[in-house]
Structure 1
Amino acid sequence: MSGKRLIISALVLALVQIGFLSWIIAGRAAILRNGKEVLLKVQPIDPRDLLRGDYISVNNSLSRIPVKLIANIPPGKFSSDDTPIVVRLKKGADAYWLPTAAWFGQAPTPATADEADIVGHLAEGWDLRSPDMTIAPEYGIDRFYVPEGEGMAIQNDMRVRPFGIKLALSANGAAQIKALMDGETTLFEEPLY
């Protein structure tokens, strides 16, 4: 009798794990399929991960945010604590989206049709005293993996012409990289699953 219970328990545990993984994958696919698309410029950085292969580092216009964009820094607050940050984006004349405002916690108003919000995380200890300082939020979109052998060629091309990443943003600001762009040409696109 205990052998049957053990087998049933193992099957239930396996089904729960499969369900959880499916839920994560489906959530990512939903953002890629239905999210608002924004385009960010990227800059070249060493494109090799020994375990996963070639990638393009997403060092972009969101990598460093000026402190002066943060609208709700409490008086007397000198450094960041471990907190979420919302960055409002607006499409520029060159089709790339740029940060226009930021808030700790939540944005006070929803983004308009020509704006988008991305939610990041700001680690503890960033200096908030000077408006000329910058901070570096983490958005979970720091790498885009490409087929093996492609990373160095793309990195070299990035030094002579603009490249970008197309993001898909959910209504709550979660981001997924959708595609790597060479100007207006899509080089690589993320599959939904």
Structure 2
Amino acid sequence: MNKQTRGKQLVFASLVPIVILLGMCFTPLYTLMTGKEIILQTIPVDPSDLFRGDYVTLRYEAEEVPKELVEAEVLDELKDGRGEIKVYVTLVKKNGIDTPVKVSLVKPEAGTLYLKGTLDYIGDNRDQKEVAFIQYSLDKYFVEDNTGTDWEAASTKGKILAKVKVKNGYAILTGIKKSK
């Protein structure tokens, strides 16, 4: 093997990790640039970790979808004991808040606003209503220093609205604001 071939191999080997890292950044950046902004209502959370600096732990109404909105195919998958199930949650704006209207295994048609999530299980929520518990990985938001306590107080009352950018079901939390 000559020096020129080894040089090309070294350059190629050095570029592979860079290409992989750039590929990992593509979906979040594409979502931030071209995604549609939605608003999600939070629900009360009792924070449990005080050692991570100023951040707000968030839960959303959209994470507790009434069982009636879950399609039969999803329920059948759940009965088969397959554990976590990848689902698509279709959203419709109601009173300025994007709200789930259907949980499906099938990706919604183009132009429909939806989130990709993981359905963990179906059980009773804090209001004793049967709901599907779905995760979207939008649970923490870091805030300015010395403001975390105020945000946590608002969070425990469910008085925060979350601004989220969504593209093809992929969601990124971009901001929070206090609701009335």
TM-score (norm 2): 0.76
User: Partners in 2 of 1:146 and 1:37 — Cα distance?
Assistant: 20
Unaligned runs of 5+ in 2: 124-128
Please report the RMSD computed on the Cα atoms of aligned residues, expressed in angstroms. Answer: 3.1
Aligned to 2:153: 156
Partner Cα separation in structure 1 for residue 156 and residue 134 of structure 2: 25
* Cα pair 1:67 1:133 within 8 Å, conserved: yes
Q: What residue in structure 2 maps to residue 191 of structure 1? A: none
Alignment of 1:75-154 (within 5 A): 78=79, 81=82, 82-93=84-95, 95-107=96-108, 109-112=109-112, 116-123=113-120, 126-127=121-122, 133-154=130-151
* Letter paired with 2:169: G
Q: TM-score, normalised by structure 1?
A: 0.72
Q: Does 1:67 align with 2:67?
A: yes
State which of 159, 163, 166 in structure 1 corresponds to 2:163: 166
Letter in 2 for 1:167: V
One-letter identity of the residue aligned with 1:154: W
Contact 1:47 1:54 in 2 (8 A): no
Q: How far did 1:88 drift?
A: 0.8
Equivalenced residues, count: 172
The aligned residue for residue 46 of structure 1 is: 47
Distance 1:47 1:75 in 2: 32
Quick one: distance in 2 between partners of 1:7 and 1:47?
A: 53
Unpaired segments ≥5 residues, structure 1: 185-193
* Distance in structure 2 (CA, Å) of the matches to 1:10 and 1:61: 51
Which moves more between the two structures, 8-17 or 95-104?
8-17
Q: Work out whether 1:183 is the aligned partner of 2:179.
A: yes
User: 2: CA distance between counterparts of 1:80 and 1:53?
Assistant: 38
Deviation at 1:84, TM superposition (A): 1.1
8 Å CA contact 1:47–1:56 kept in 2: the answer is no
Are 1:120 and 1:139, in contact at CA under 8 Å, matched by a contact in 2? Answer: yes
Deviation at residue 97 of structure 1 after TM alignment: 1.2
Q: CA deviation at 1:150?
A: 2.2
- Could you tell me the percent identity over the aligned residues? 18
SS of residue paired to 1:25: helix
Whether the 8 Å CA contact 2:57–2:155 is kept in 1: the answer is no
